[in-house]
Structure formats: C-alpha cells, structure tokens
Amino acid sequence: MIYGRRPRQLLVVWGVSLGGIALIYWLEYSAPALHELLMPFYWIILAVAFYLTWRWLRARSRKDRRGNDRRHADRRDEKDTTSP
C-alpha cells in the first residue's frame, strides 16, 4: 500500500494497458503489413498509462492539500441566519 491507499486502480490501468499492447502485438503478428500503422498506438497506450500513474501517485502524496477539512464545519454555529 502506498500512502495508506490500495493500488487497485493502478493495477487496473497497467493491466488494461498491457492487454491492449498484447492485442496490438497479436494483430501486428497476424498482419505484418500493419506494423507502421500500429506503431504509434504502443506509444499512446504507454503515455496514457504513465500519465494515469503519475496522477495516481500525485493524488495520494503526503502533501495532499485535501488532508484538512476545508469546509470549516465549526463556523456553522457562528452566525445563525434563520433567526430574526
């Protein structure tokens, strides 16, 4: 566990990415003439996987700005707007 969170989302991202790459590789193996056409898709899938991994790590960093309660629940009782 990284920063107290489970890596399930990260495993799904990389599992789907590797599955997509395997599917593209199988298609390329079946039809070698498509090699030049399919080559950019490898890079696109890897770029998306790295981007989502970066977002996953960033959202769960120790410096998470959402760590404190920003709603200031204690201010509700300071001013009562319902009484005349």
Q: How far apart are CA 2 and CA 76, in angstroms?
A: 35
Cβ distance 14 to 49 under 8 Å? yes
Q: How far apart are CA 20 and CA 71, in angstroms?
A: 42
Radius of gyration over every alpha carbon of the chain, rounded to an integer in angstroms: 23
**21-61 confidence digits (pLDDT tens):** 999 999 999 999 999 999 999 999 999 999 999 988 876 55
Q: How much is the pLDDT for 68?
A: 56
Q: How much is the pLDDT for 19?
A: 97
Q: What percent of the chain has pLDDT over 90?
A: 50
Q: How much is the pLDDT for 61?
A: 55
Helices 8-30 and 35-59 cross at an angle (nearest 10°) of: 180
The structure's pTM equals 0.65
Q: How much is the pLDDT for 45?
A: 97
